[in-house]
Amino acid sequence: QTQAKIEEPQWTVRKVLSWTISYFKSHNIENPKSDAAILLAHALNLKRIDVYLQYDKPLCPDELAQFKALIKRRVRREPVAYIVGSKGFWSADLAVTTDVLIPRPETERLVDTALSVLPESEIQRILELGTGSGAITIALASERPDCIFFACDRSVKAAELARKNAVNHDVGACVHFFSGDWFSPLNPGLCPFDMIVSNPPYIRTRVISQLEPEIYKYEPMMALDGGTDGLDAVRHIIRSAPAYLVKGGHLLLEIGHDQKDDVRKIAEKCGCYEKIVFVKDYAGHDRVVHMRKKC
Ligand code: GLN
């Protein structure tokens, strides 16, 4: 009796993509198409665009095995950015690890607001608190390499990663990274900044576990948890910043979508600021507050 020859199905890029998209859909993964393409590009060491241009390329067993390991991680809700180790923000592709928050598109609103108010004239001295991957500072420095940047994070590992990202994006020379808790490494008398920016933790402690598992299972609590009302860090920064700002200096913070009224109260009560303005993100939420120290 002759053994029927079993044809191994050929796993092409096209077939793997469509299988993965259905698999992700059945696991309620939010962006099945783009996640599948990003992970496949990573497994095949291709640019994402090339995945779409090589639909008929067959995968070898090693490539398939490597890709399977990635999709298993994704259905356990690990964010794509941590799996592939990078995330696009502004014009840069930044290395990210679980030591840092994954940069969000709405944080680009903080960057463009900062750029729109930053004077062109003299060298501006800019401080970022809680820099994480360095996203905000690297975006600002890439647009304004004439300025000088100081960026701090409580996590030593985050500050190291941010430094690496800055060097990889050719802005290492105008940025100084250091670690420490908010303003604590700085001497108030000796640090007259023209601008302070931050995306501090602003989520209320009790709602963190209600966020998507991608966030609460994997992202650093330190970058998310803003205490009982979500405003512990925001309050601390608004109250402390005047001692570190020049007269007329700018403070810009990212805030939660429902925190506008509370943030306005905190800033007004402090008595040191004028021109408190809120800027909406692309989803229409009040996302950034900009205020200036009184002259
Ligand atoms: N925007 C983030 C989120 O909703 C929170 C970031 C932060 O607390 N700074 O997950």
Beta bridge partners of 273: 293
Specify the pLDDT at position 188. Answer: 79
Residue 56, marked binder? no
Which of 76, 78, 84 shows the shortest CA–CA distance to 46? 84
- Residue whose Cα lies nearest atom 9 of ligand 1: it is 201
User: What is the domain partition of the chain in residue ranges?
Assistant: 13-76, 89-293
Q: Which atom of ligand 1 is nearest to the CA of 106?
A: 1
- Which of 3.40.50.150, 2.40.50.140, 2.70.160.11, 3.90.950.10 would CATH assign to domain 89-293? 3.40.50.150
- Residue whose Cα lies nearest atom 7 of ligand 1: it is 201
In whole angstroms, give the CA distance from residue 111 to residue 205.
26
Residue 134, marked binder? yes
Residues of the chain above pLDDT 90, percent: 89
Query: Per residue in 233-278, pLDDT tens?
Result: 999 999 999 999 999 999 999 999 999 999 999 999 999 999 999 9
- Whether the complex's predicted ipTM surpasses the cut of 0.95: no
Q: Which atom of ligand 1 is nearest to the CA of 101?
A: 6
- Ordered alpha helix ranges (H), the chain: 13-26, 32-44, 48-53, 61-75, 80-84, 107-117, 135-143, 156-168, 213-218, 232-240, 260-270
Specify the pLDDT at position 5. Answer: 59
Residue 284, marked binder? no
Residue 258: exposure state from Cβ atoms within 10 A (0-12, 13-18, ≥19): exposed
Contact 102, 81 (CB under 8 A): yes
- Please, what sign has the CA dihedral across residues 269, 272, 274, 279? negative
Residues in the chain: 295
Residue numbers in the chain where pLDDT is lower than 70 = 1-9, 191
> What one-letter code names the amino acid at 67?
F
In whole angstroms, give the CA distance from residue 67 to residue 41.
9
Determine whether the shortest distance from the Cβ of 199 to ligand 1 is under 6 A: yes
Residue 201, marked binder? yes
> What one-letter code names the amino acid at 280?
K
Q: Which atom of ligand 1 is nearest to the CA of 215?
A: 10
